[in-house]
Chains A and B, each alone.
Chain A
Amino acid sequence: MLAADDDILARAEDWRKAGKGVAIATVTETWGSAPRPVGSHLVIDDEGHFLGSVSGGCVEGEVVTEAMDVIADGKARTFEFGVQDETAWRAGLSCGGRIRVYVEKVV
């Protein structure tokens, strides 16, 4: 897992150096049963390509969408996904856990 996350951050660096807009999403907190541990990364480019994961695949779509705004205005944001949250229910974190994700732009 660690080695894979390493590759992901290396790819974020490559993408940025190639002139792309890049955001890094990081799981900063988990509650209950969460599919990916704290510290897991998802990196996103300005065309919506992404690598890595912050969940088992259930909230990545939402995170990629939010990352587009972060890349556009450069402001880091924190998001929470979980069953208590209407949006998250839509995003479908069906395992019953809740996660907090920090999304920042590589500048």
Chain B
Amino acid sequence: MRLELLSILNAERAARRACVLVTDTENGEQRLVKGAEIAADPLAEQLDSALRAGKSATIEVAGRQVFLTVQVPPVRIVAIGAVHITQALAPMARLAGFDLTIIDPRTAFATPERFPHGSLIADWPQNVLPDFAPDRYTAIACFTHDPKIDDPALEAGLWAECFYVGALGSRKTHGKRVERLKEKGFLDSQIARIRAPIGLDIGAVSPQEIAVSVLGEIILALRKKPLRDYGGAA
């Protein structure tokens, strides 16, 4: 591998942008395809599918063995609300291999005693998220029921084109939310990306069951639906 390619690959990864290193393992020929360039690549279909699966793989191209080294940014989940559901979600997300951050400005909720394992930030989403820089490999799920806390995070998630944006609340609550977002200038197509009521319809009742349904919905969005664009954070 040329040092130059290795440097670009490491830089793309550090910037949380997807890319694929394509290696002909028979003659050593190599090229790096950045996420944003995949659609124009001769191997677009194979690269796209490898990237979506997030797995490196050997493929055959015109009878030759070609190895795809897939670099995908680690998926992060941001949960707004240090509530009962996220107390259950924290260990589940960790087991499933996701990096979870919980944000809640209410210090009575956001205590280390209630969240001994996860990364917990007792501050407003609008103060935390600019530095956190949500991107296409980030999921944002809102659980507070309080527009003052949930809405700024939802808005950040929509602008960043997060692969998953979900919000807890009844259809009625969501109707009001949609009105607020429209007043702020969000398009119907953006608003339609919010998953509400949140979670897969598995009849979940308890906070723990709702956490399962939300985690399942996040995995579904990640693995089954193509991510809209592999360009990474703009």
Could you tell me which A residues sit within 8 Å of B by CB distance?
2-3, 6, 9-10, 12-13, 16-17, 24, 26, 28-29, 37-39, 75-76, 78, 100, 102, 104-107
Contact = CB atoms under 8 A, between A and B. Distances in A.
A107 B58 contact: no
A2 B3 contact: no
Given A9-B6, A9-B10, A26-B67, A2 B1 contact: no
A28 B58 contact: yes
B12 to A, nearest CB: 10
Nearest to A100: B58
- Interface of chain B: mostly helix, strand, loop or mixed: mixed
A13 B67 contact: no
Given A3-B74, A26-B67, A106-B1, A16 B6 contact: yes
12 contacts: A2-B74, A6-B10, A6-B14, A13-B3, A28-B58, A29-B58, A38-B58, A75-B28, A76-B25, A102-B25, A104-B23, A104-B28
- Interface of chain A: mostly helix, strand, loop or mixed: mixed
B7 interface: yes
A10 B55 contact: no
B6 A13 contact: yes
A47 to B, nearest CB: 19
B67 A76 contact: no
Contacts of B128: none
Given A24-B1, A39-B69, A102-B23, A13 B10 contact: yes
A106 B6 contact: yes
B3 A102 contact: no
Q: What range describes how many residues of B lie at the interface?
A: 20 to 34
B22 to A, nearest CB: 12
- Looking at B1, B3, B74, the one whose CB has the most chain A CB atoms below 10 A away is B1
B2 interface: yes
Given A38-B56, A105-B1, A106-B1, 4 more contacts: A6-B14, A76-B28, A104-B23, A106-B6
B1 A107 contact: yes
B13 interface: yes
A107 B71 CA distance: 21
